[in-house]
Copies of this chain bind each other. A is one copy, B any other.
Amino acid sequence: MFKELDPLLHSQLRLAIMSLLMSVDSAEFTFIKEQTGATAGNLSVQIDKLSEAGYIEVTKSFKGKKPLTTCAVTKKGLSAFENYVNALKQYINK
């Protein structure tokens, strides 16, 4: 039987966000937006979902006078990502 694919991660945009965050300490909203090509609205929604699941930590502050949203993956998020990748391999490795 096939392992279940965490629906929170099995989404192109959320997976891209997580993928990005895997390789950095933290990333700004605008950077993620650029890298993923997502609209701000969509990104905002998906970041919220990852945040509410405890997969990422979102910090809102200011860069000078502009709002600054920074995201970083949590231990829980890292573990979920690894699990997801692991499950996925069952589907794609021949």
- How many copies of the shown chain assemble into the complex? 2
Question: Is A85 engaged at the interface, CB distance under 8 Å to the other chain?
Answer: yes
Determine whether A44 belongs to the interface, using a CB cutoff of 8 Å to chain B: no
How many interface residues does chain A have, given as a range? 20 to 34
Chain A residues within CB distance 8 Å of chain B: 1-2, 4-5, 7, 10, 12, 15-16, 19, 22-23, 35-37, 84-85, 88, 90-92, 94
Q: Across the interface, which residues of B come within 8 angstroms of A4, CB to CB?
A: 12
Write 22 A-B pairs (CB below 8 A) sorted by A numbering. A1-B36, A1-B37, A2-B12, A2-B16, A2-B19, A2-B35, A2-B36, A2-B37, A4-B12, A5-B12, A5-B15, A7-B12, A15-B91, A16-B91, A19-B90, A19-B91, A19-B92, A22-B94, A23-B94, A84-B92, A85-B92, A88-B92
